Chain A
Amino acid sequence: MTTLPLISLRSVSRTYRTDGVAVTAVRNVSFDIAPGEIVAVMGPSGSGKSTLMNMIGLLDLPSEGAVHLEGANVAELSEDRRSSLRARSIGFVFQSYNLLARHSAIENVALPLVYCGISRRERLARAEQSLQAVGMLHRAHHFPRQLSGGEQQRVAIARALIASPLIVLADEPTGALDSRTGAEILALFAALNRAGQTIVMITHDPGIATQCRRTIRLHDGELVSDETIAELLPRRSVAS
């Protein structure tokens, strides 16, 4: 493949040390993510999915190995630079939405732009566009508690998209939703990906994973498989 990977992990490990006990949450993981991909990360609870996601999202650094974003080793960037990159290049979507309760939908969506030094007027204009893209513009001035779970997650996705990030990272985005609403959110991600948005999504719903072209599986912190549908389909047919 000739395209430069957006994200590349090389022998990444992450060990937590608490009270002298070392827990290796991620062990010797390597893979690349190319622009325009949609990747599902699967694995049982405690297998290191969130830890991996935090490192891709520049919230955490590997204990060993290296994470590269557009070719740059993120460990070599300053803390402030990593923060700026989070504001401009990464969009987070969380299982529990993580909207600020005391701010309206549109203010929540505009929040990352505060840290990009963009004027309030432009922030609000772009937040409107972003809300429009997820079908939530009519609820712009409602507060999170006035919105259903699915609606809150749409607002959170609008927030993740507002700075036109290189990559959207979603940690079990449908985990708190019923299956129908979850499917709607998933359809939204699929549509965004068709429009070219790179997405990495953690899930333990195999149904969701099958809708992604590529699936990475973790077990006890180790990468056990990395398959794209092109490989997956023939193997399935062999199995059946």
Chain B
Amino acid sequence: MTMLQGFQIALHALRLNPLRSFLTMLGIVIGVASIVTVFAIGSGAQLRLQEQIRSIGANVLMITPGAVYQGGVRLKDGSKLTMTEGDVQAILEQIPEIQAAAGSLAGTAQVIHEGKNWNTTINGTTSGHFMVRDWQLASGRYFSGAEETGAGKVVILGSTVARELFAPGDDPIGAQIRIMKVPLEIVGVLDRKGPAQDDVAFVPLSTAKLRFLGSASNINRDSVAYIIAKVAADGQMAGARAEIESLLRQRHRIPAGQEDDFKVQDPAAAMEAQQGAIRTVALLLVAIASVSLLVGGISIMNVMIVSVTERTREIGIRRALGGRMRDIRLQFLCEALVLCLLGGAIGVAGGITLSMTVARMAGWITSIDGEAIGLALAFSIATGLIFGFYPAHKASKLSPIEALKTE
């Protein structure tokens, strides 16, 4: 008997009892669907992180406010803007490894153009920001020096904002938009960097302070919320970081032994660490899903054992008519394999559907790769072979005479 005949006999037997066959497969279906879904969501999250790492740009350090003490009480990190434009200038001038640096103030606001409006992040910064992030223009220009120092009423749009406010054919350059009642002229539109990055509008830092935050008395005229700085080469990251730390401690007059009021971070490194964490969690979830596969395998073994018992007489007949022991074994092994493969295929389809639904509902990115599908199917074949072997072996060992005597 050939493999093909084995599969034909198996399909024939399974078709006779479709409900039982389906229930038997259910564990495999659930296990495989879970594995595919976890992989899809996990690799989607990885892709999103990679996009963010890319969008930050290479060799970028980020300086954010740290702990602040007021009358001996430690306030929450970032509760006070401790960095200044002076710090930006000092970092740029005194640390040779730093190629570019920019301070930013950011908030969200409604951006209005004629009938359309869009809620987005408003980032007040300087042209250095675009240099640090290697962010090119799709059209127009960056801020001029005069606009940066003189609070020019100009704005550079991220591609998402441009798309939301303007029809595909319209050129946004030169058009007027309004942010918090202030009319601004669009001087540039940025290249795409990724869905999470492109939803932003940049104005000069001085413009943000004068026109949007002018009334906010708790903000020092010189403050910035965070600083980003670009280091010339990969190998200089650690050195540049140490130099920035000592420079800022000196400028902020932090005595030895006291905690810094700022934090220097390497966002790419942090995200890479996060990526590792995602991978670990995904592997853990796959391990949990594998338990479902195991349960599915045991259920297949159970049903196959029952099936062998029920069909003892059939086995006896097949043996009397010339079936060899290995033919009987192959027949039942094929049945287990078909159950697992069908269950695996249904599971893959279910997993794809589930992850696409989750992606749509939660707004996550998911990515389904052939590797995950291949792995899931390989798992189900292995399950079929491992858990199908014992019942098939048992069937092949039956004495034909005894088997023919059973009812």
- Interface residues of chain A, those whose CB is within 8 Å of chain B, are 54, 57, 59-60, 79-80, 83-88, 92, 94, 98, 100, 102-103, 111-112, 114-117, 159, 163
* Chain B, interface residues (CB within 8 Å), range: 20 to 34
Assess whether B16 is interfacial by the CB under 8 Å rule.
yes
CB within 8 Å for A112 and B401 given contacts A100-B314, A100-B317: no
Distance (whole angstroms) from the CB of A99 to the closest CB of chain B: 8
Return chain B residues, CB-CB under 8 Å to A163. Answer: 322
- Is B404 a contact partner of A83 (Cβ separation < 8 A)? no
- Is A79 a contact partner of B325 (Cβ separation < 8 A)? yes
Distance (whole angstroms) from the CB of A64 to the closest CB of chain B: 18
CB within 8 Å for A114 and B404 given contacts A84-B322, A98-B313: no
Distance (whole angstroms) from the CB of A93 to the closest CB of chain B: 11
- Interface residues of chain B, those whose CB is within 8 Å of chain A, are 1-2, 5, 12-13, 16, 313-314, 316-327, 400-401, 404
- Is A115 a contact partner of B321 (Cβ separation < 8 A)? yes
Q: Please classify the interface of chain B as helix (H, G, I), strand (E, B), loop, or mixed, using the class held by over half of its residues.
A: helix
- Is A59 a contact partner of B320 (Cβ separation < 8 A)? yes
Return the contact of A114 from the options B1, B313, B316 (Cβ within 8 A): B1
A83-B327, A115-B324 known; 11 other A-B pairs, CB under 8 Å? Answer: A59-B400, A79-B324, A80-B325, A86-B319, A92-B321, A98-B320, A100-B317, A111-B317, A111-B321, A115-B323, A163-B322
- Is B401 a contact partner of A86 (Cβ separation < 8 A)? no
- Is A115 a contact partner of B322 (Cβ separation < 8 A)? yes
Return the contact of B12 from the options A87, A94, A102 (Cβ within 8 A): A102
Return chain B residues, CB-CB under 8 Å to A102. Answer: 12-13, 16
Return chain B residues, CB-CB under 8 Å to A54. Answer: 401
Return chain B residues, CB-CB under 8 Å to A115. Answer: 1, 318, 321-324, 327
Return chain A residues, CB-CB under 8 Å to B400. Answer: 59
In the complex the two chains form, what is the Cα distance from A94 to B404 in whole Å? 10
Return chain A residues, CB-CB under 8 Å to B313. Answer: 98
A-B contact pairs, 9 of them (CB 8 A): A79-B324, A80-B325, A83-B323, A87-B321, A87-B322, A92-B321, A112-B321, A114-B323, A115-B322
Distance (whole angstroms) from the CB of A55 to the closest CB of chain B: 10
Return the chain A residue nearest B317 by Cβ: A98
